[in-house]
Amino acid sequence: MNTRILALAMSCAIALGMAAQYNPFPWDFPQNVKIEAEPGQWVLSCYTFYPSAVSEQKDLTDEVLIFYSTKMEQVGETSSILSGREIPNALIIPLDPQAKAKKGDIVLTWWQEGSGLERAIVTDASNPAQPKVDYLDMDYGTKERPGFAQREADQQLKPGSFIVLRDGEWQPGAQIAAFNGSEWESGTLIREQDGKVLVLGWASHIKAYKKENCRLIPFKEKLKKGDAVYATFVDTYRDGYTVKKVDEKIGRVWLDRNGSEEVKSIAEVTKVLK
């Protein structure tokens, strides 16, 4: 056989072998996930990045998979259709079409003047179905240099665009600390099932953990000035922080670490890891 033809045949065989081995759901998490949602209902999902990454056979464990808002088109047994794309149900978070909130509640939603999954604290519940919120997953900044959290404060949510989060429940949007053997990694819970958790971690990378290695971080933890706490540093929780001030209304905690002040959200500060 002509060596050129042989080389081409071998290349094709290798490519076909790689295609056969490609796993479009590489996480150690159940895929028999059932969701309750109706066509037209708001959901959060990585429906933009996931299909293109799969079609290009990229390593999904190393991909940025940002969760955006969209509306459900068709619900399936293990996958559903969003914006004309088939997405595993495990990667879809239905929001509550009848949701109502009260002042001080923590909700899962998205940045409604932009995109991306966000937790937020309700600052005004005059209209419980369309509360005003301050976003918790945005940088706070300082008085001199306000961050997105200050600039986007008191935004009003659309009806049906959020879930009210409750401490102690393994529900989508809960804050998670997952022990990887040496450190506590931080992230947002996507889903929990059969003793496993799927988490949206640092830089929108998806990870799976055993539930027994994870802890829920309370949103309503009682923190006061002088408390020694853990706080997030990049993608992990680390100790050595001291609480300077707590503003429960906006869900922010001022911390000191080695003489340097930092402002974190209530999801980023905890005593439960001690």
Domain boundaries, given as residue ranges, for the chain: 23-218, 228-270
**Confidence at residue 20, expressed as pLDDT on a 0 to 100 scale:** 63
- CB–CB of 121/250 below 8 Å? yes
pTM of the full predicted structure? 0.91
**Confidence at residue 252, expressed as pLDDT on a 0 to 100 scale:** 97
Residues 99, 108, 123, CA angle at the centre, nearest 5°?
Answer: 75
Exposure letters 31-58 (e unless 16+ CB within 10 A, then b): eebebebeeebbbbbbbbbbbebbeeee
**Confidence at residue 143, expressed as pLDDT on a 0 to 100 scale:** 82
Measuring CA to CA, which residue among 167, 162, 190 is closest to residue 178? Answer: 190
**Confidence at residue 264, expressed as pLDDT on a 0 to 100 scale:** 97
- In this prediction, the residues of the chain whose per-residue pLDDT falls under 70 are 1-20
**Confidence at residue 67, expressed as pLDDT on a 0 to 100 scale:** 97
Please tell me whether residue 57 adopts helix, strand or coil conformation. Answer: coil
